[in-house]
Structure 1
């Protein structure tokens, strides 16, 4: 079986992005664009991956990690020069090499696979991934002869008026016979408008050596978008968002307003989930069947159980059970674990807390660093006072306890099973099982006190 290799070009500085962040690290739908490319290349099972790095190399290598070998391009002298840097790792090897740009995150893994398969089926020395551009301005043109064979690629700045009329464009992605690629790179020149070594010049060199040149055309021009500025970055976000939402809807998810729903690539959503407008679902979130998200909810790295409803709320890095109601305007912070049939109401914040089945925190409460049992009722305005300025402490509320409104539970403290906390109490000591705890000053009424104050003011 033919060995397959990949070269990812990720050395360009990206000055048109006008950013301190290295270009290929700009996120598209929450993931750096080069990681989209890397993920798709990995999915087609190549034998070796070499990434050409330059500006910001440390950060690029940090994001990609051990999934690739790396070669530094010290000077930015063009795409041909960039590929030359991989010669020490790949130059003498037999097989097929796919060359892709790190700023093309929209090319599907299926397109990469089809390109490789087509190249090897054709027995070509080089195969170009092409597309037809509605406006080919700025793109290299694929020039064919009278027999419709590919002759060469000409860059926009070097094209004649006749060549500029061609709408078949070079996407910057290629397959090569590996040894032929590196042999041809020895003969390319920088005698052009940019003074750079163009990788497309290899096509003409191979053609002159009687090598077969083929082209695989993708019908979806959008997937070939290269990102060079913030406008293209926004376009890529929109295209990928639409693609992901479309896939979820075909899989049985109801997205009421796809244009205003943002779902990142690694999110898993089961059938019959309903997602309302303005919702954002990120990270490795899993949304189970018949759940309902939104409107205007943000879910990050959470598991959300079946039939759970999260309305106008934020949840992050937490596990949320089945038949749970959250919101509106609740904040589920990291490391919360919310069991089935729990209610978290409006303006409730939960952090690093376990809440047992059938418990309720209905409104206006902060519950942090707590362990709450089953069938517990937390009255509005309740606060677990978990922080003394230096350390965090835990509050434990056992099964069946009832905490009255406007209570302060000063941790560490245990509220016993089936106990009652009177409204307005500040609890500093443990409460035994089945006890009523009242921790507030006795009310004193002073008759006619207001009249006396008013008389003093007149005097």
Structure 2
């Protein structure tokens, strides 16, 4: 196999996006467009990858980091000029170079691989990635001769009536013999209305030199979508979402309403998971077999164990065990660890806390900066009072303890094993093992006093 290189064109500011954010950093399913391109190209066994960024595009360079080499196009003078910026890195190398735009997030690694293979098998100097569409308006048309060979690319504005009826279009992605590419780029002219150097002119130059020009047609036009404005961004999001969801469904996941379920590209879901409408699962989340998610739940960077049920709840950066019941309307904040067969009920918030196996926090409670043992029952309205305005402190509740309703546990404090805290208590001191702690004012009844209050008003 020949050496393979890639040039990613990511220098455009994307004025039609009307955004302070560089176009290629706009996310599709939670990941910047250019990252989708890089991720898919990596799978094509490249020897070298170069990304062309624009002057001032520090954010693009910051995101890409050391994933590939970067070159700067100081002035945006067209796609041909952008490709020329990689000359110092690739000029004298033998092999095949793919040139792809950083705003085409939907092209798959399989398509890139097929394009490389076709180009090399055809022994072509240039190969155009093409597609067919029922409405080719706005795209350059690929014109073939009677032998089905590519004759030229005709832009919409230059096409005659016959050429306008051609529905095979240029997607803007190409493979070139690397040396032939840079040799031809030297001859590209900017003698046009925009005064720019266009990459498609390389095709015409090579054709005049009687070099072989080929085309590889992808069967999925939607995959080649370039994102130039917010409308196309939404279309790309929809297409990517559909692709991801269908992949999970083919692997045994039940998604009741795929149109209203959002699953990030890095999420792993095991067979027999059930996902209800309105659910969002993102980041590096892992959902284990037979879990049930939603409706209307959000999960980000979490591990969710087998047979766990999460309804109308939010979980972030946490580990959730097996056969856990969460929600409705619970909030699992970062660094929580929920043990097997635990219950986190409605309107419960857990933050940076470990909840042991079989423990229950059933409703209306805040458990933060806490270590909760196994088989603990935490009553309604309980709060671990963890913050003094400057520092956070730990609350420890040992195995089999019972915390009565409306209790305040003022950290740092420990409730010993098998102990009881009476409802309405404010606990400020350690509760020994197997104890009952009552920390509330004695009730006093003043009979008839309510009438005096009413009369005073």
TM-score, structure 1 normalization: 0.98
Do structure 1's residue 80 and structure 2's residue 80 form an aligned pair?
yes
**Residue matched to 2:173:** 173
Q: Deviations over 1:207-248 (max 9, x none)?
A: 111111100000100000000000000000000000110010
**Residue matched to 2:287:** 287
Do structure 1's residue 119 and structure 2's residue 119 form an aligned pair?
yes
**Residue matched to 1:19:** 19
Do structure 1's residue 237 and structure 2's residue 237 form an aligned pair?
yes
Q: Deviations over 1:252-294 (max 9, x none)?
A: 0000000000001000000000000000000000000000000
Residue 19 of structure 1 and its aligned partner are, at CA, apart by 0.5
Do structure 1's residue 209 and structure 2's residue 209 form an aligned pair?
yes
Q: Does the residue aligned with 2:89 lie in a helix, a strand or coil? A: helix
Deviates more, 1:99-108 or 1:55-64: 55-64
Do structure 1's residue 406 and structure 2's residue 406 form an aligned pair?
yes
**Residue matched to 1:418:** 418
Using the alignment, how far apart are the partners of 1:433 and 1:235 within structure 2?
A: 61
**Residue matched to 1:45:** 45
Q: Deviations over 1:314-368 (max 9, x none)?
A: 0000000000000000000000001100000000000000010000000000000
- Residue segments in structure 2 that go unaligned for 5+ positions in a row: none
Equivalent residue runs for 1:309-324 within 5 Å: 309-324=309-324
Q: Against the structure 1 CA distance between its residues 348 and 454, is the aligned structure 2 distance closer, same or farther, given a 3 Å change threshold?
A: closer
Aligned partners of 2:55 and 2:75 also within 8 Å: no
Residue 143 of structure 1 and its aligned partner are, at CA, apart by 1.6
Using the alignment, how far apart are the partners of 1:84 and 1:450 within structure 2?
A: 88
Residue 162 of structure 1 and its aligned partner are, at CA, apart by 3.2
Q: Deviations over 1:392-422 (max 9, x none)?
A: 0000000000000000000000010001000
**Residue matched to 1:390:** 390
Equivalent residue runs for 1:209-358 within 5 Å: 209-358=209-358
Using the alignment, how far apart are the partners of 2:80 and 2:376 within structure 1?
A: 68
Aligned partners of 1:359 and 1:375 also within 8 Å: yes
Aligned partners of 1:157 and 1:193 also within 8 Å: no
Q: Against the structure 1 CA distance between its residues 455 and 336, is the aligned structure 2 distance closer, same or farther, given a 3 Å change threshold?
A: closer
Deviates more, 1:58-67 or 1:413-422: 58-67
Q: Against the structure 1 CA distance between its residues 411 and 153, is the aligned structure 2 distance closer, same or farther, given a 3 Å change threshold?
A: same
Residue 137 of structure 1 and its aligned partner are, at CA, apart by 1.5
Q: Does the residue aligned with 1:76 lie in a helix, a strand or coil? A: coil
Do structure 1's residue 138 and structure 2's residue 149 form an aligned pair?
no
Residue 139 of structure 1 and its aligned partner are, at CA, apart by 1.1
- Residue segments in structure 1 that go unaligned for 5+ positions in a row: none
Residue 191 of structure 1 and its aligned partner are, at CA, apart by 2.3
Residue 56 of structure 1 and its aligned partner are, at CA, apart by 4.6
Residue 122 of structure 1 and its aligned partner are, at CA, apart by 0.4
Using the alignment, how far apart are the partners of 2:55 and 2:295 within structure 1?
A: 41
**Residue matched to 1:4:** 4
**Residue matched to 1:189:** 189
Do structure 1's residue 69 and structure 2's residue 66 form an aligned pair?
no
Using the alignment, how far apart are the partners of 2:123 and 2:413 within structure 1?
A: 75
Q: Deviations over 1:29-50 (max 9, x none)?
A: 0000000000001111100000
Aligned partners of 1:12 and 1:55 also within 8 Å: no
Residue 55 of structure 1 and its aligned partner are, at CA, apart by 4.8
Using the alignment, how far apart are the partners of 2:73 and 2:452 within structure 1?
A: 87
Using the alignment, how far apart are the partners of 1:455 and 1:142 within structure 2?
A: 93
Aligned partners of 1:22 and 1:55 also within 8 Å: no
Using the alignment, how far apart are the partners of 1:154 and 1:414 within structure 2?
A: 77
Q: Against the structure 1 CA distance between its residues 78 and 158, is the aligned structure 2 distance closer, same or farther, given a 3 Å change threshold?
A: farther
Q: Against the structure 1 CA distance between its residues 160 and 343, is the aligned structure 2 distance closer, same or farther, given a 3 Å change threshold?
A: same
Deviates more, 1:132-141 or 1:356-365: 132-141
Residue 165 of structure 1 and its aligned partner are, at CA, apart by 2.3
TM-score, structure 2 normalization: 0.98
Aligned partners of 2:322 and 2:341 also within 8 Å: yes
Using the alignment, how far apart are the partners of 1:308 and 1:191 within structure 2?
A: 65
Residue 194 of structure 1 and its aligned partner are, at CA, apart by 2.8
Tell me the C-alpha RMSD between the 2 structures: 1.0
